[in-house]
Structures are given as structure tokens and as C-alpha cells.
Structure 1
């Protein structure tokens, strides 16, 4: 008699893996904030219109979670409507990451803040893009 392994044991839950990816990206950007702000002493300030505001760890976490959830939602939507969801999503995600760098490059107050904000965007992208891509239906 042959024993079969349930498909959930062979292929972990996409939902769990996607949630884990969003959480790891958030942890990575928060770690980047800790290294830059309290440890390296970067004054992390960004322009928001005519005002300037300090970038807090809460802002970093919320931004990363929202970006991750938006990427997840787009991937899930594409999986429902196209057989090439993985490819389309990867191209869109890479373009969104590149466009997101305009924020730090134009909104960072000072060179160290600008560089730090750009690194935080790249950290989020370095986890979210390959992590969510890996979970895409093939």
C-alpha cells in the first residue's frame, strides 16, 4: 500500500509564505532604521509637501507593511486573470521599486537622510520582490 503525502505538506501555504515575506521585509526595514538612526546618528527627516517630518519606526513599519500588502494583492489579482502572473508581477514590482526611489531622492532632507531612505526602500524591495515572486503560481 502506497502512502501519499498531502499537498499542503509538500507545498507550504502561499498565504503563510506571503505573510512571512511581508513580516521579514518589515523587520529588515526596521533593522535598517535602528542601524541608521539610533546607532549611526542619522537625522532621518523627509519633506512632505512644504513640511518636514521625522521618519519614525512606526512610519517605516506601516509603509513596508502597506507596500507588501499592495504587492500581495496585485499578485493575487494577476493570478486570477493571467497565466503569466509571475512575470507580469515581477516587472511591475521592479518598476514600482524604481519609481519609489524618487520619494527619497526628492524628499530626503540632507544627504544622509536621502541615502538612508533610499536604502530602506531597497531593503524592502530586496525582500518583497523575490519573496512574493517565489510564492507566485507557476
Structure 2
């Protein structure tokens, strides 16, 4: 009697499709930003923001962090997919575009009135999204 083992489809496949890897990266970015937010809140970061010239403060909450991460991750993926379809050096162009978006996303953090720890955590959250998505999104088609 011989024992036969069956491996799950993922283990049998020697490569994972770029689409699947990118979907996993989007999920990982959402989990990462959510985890950073929860950890920072547990350590006392208030995530209170006040727009310049306004008196009313707004507290960022976990669903906002998760939703923004999901929306912008999917927009990044869509931009890359369009570039890959129509442009020769899509990943290089997308990387420059993503880097520019990351830098521009830091401008509101500098402008907002918030505590230092809130600003530091927001920068870390933005950087974490880029750190998760950029290397994975660059994988794939040559």
C-alpha cells in the first residue's frame, strides 16, 4: 500500500500569477495599515487632525484607514494594469508615479494640525503601503 499525498494548488504551482500576488499585496497593505493604526492607538496616539483655519478636529478611525488603504491600493493596481496594457516600460513608469504619489500624500500630513506622534504614525502608515505594494506590483510581466 502506497501513501499518496496531494498538495494544495498553491503548493503545486511553481509560480503564482501576478494578479494573485497583487491581490495578496493589497490585502497585506490593508492588514499592515490596520495593525499599525491599532498599535499606535494602544500606545496613545490620538489620530486627531485639524485642517488649517478650521476649529473642528476630526479623529481618524480604523475603518477610514482601512478604506483609504484599500481604495488607493486598488487605484494603484488599476493604474499599473492600464500602463502594462498600453505602455512599453509600464513598471518603471508606474514606480515613478507611485513614488510621486507617496511624496504628494505626505503634504497633507505636514499641513494638518496634529500631534507629533499622529504625524509620525501617518507617515509610517503611508510608507508601509508603499513598502508592501511597490515590490510586489513590480513583479510580473516582462
Residues in 2 aligned to 1:108 and 1:29: alpha-carbon distance in whole angstroms: 21
How many equivalent pairs are there? Answer: 129
Counterpart check, 1:36 vs 2:40 = yes
Pairing of 1:53-72 with structure 2 (within 5 A):
53-72=58-77
Q: Based on CA coordinates, which of the two structures has the bigger radius of gyration?
A: 2
Judged with a 3 Å threshold, the aligned counterparts in structure 2 of structure 1 residues 69 and 48 are, in CA distance, closer, same or farther, namely: farther
1:48 deviates by 4.9
Partner of 1:5 in structure 2?
none
Residue pair 1:108, 1:117 contacting (<8 A) in 2 also: no
Residue pair 1:29, 1:120 contacting (<8 A) in 2 also: yes
Which residue, 122, 127, 130 being the options, matches 1:122? Answer: 127
Q: Gapped runs of 5+ residues in structure 2?
A: 1-11
The alignment's TM-score, normalised by the length of structure 1, stands at 0.86
Q: Gapped runs of 5+ residues in structure 1?
A: 1-7
The alignment's TM-score, normalised by the length of structure 2, stands at 0.83
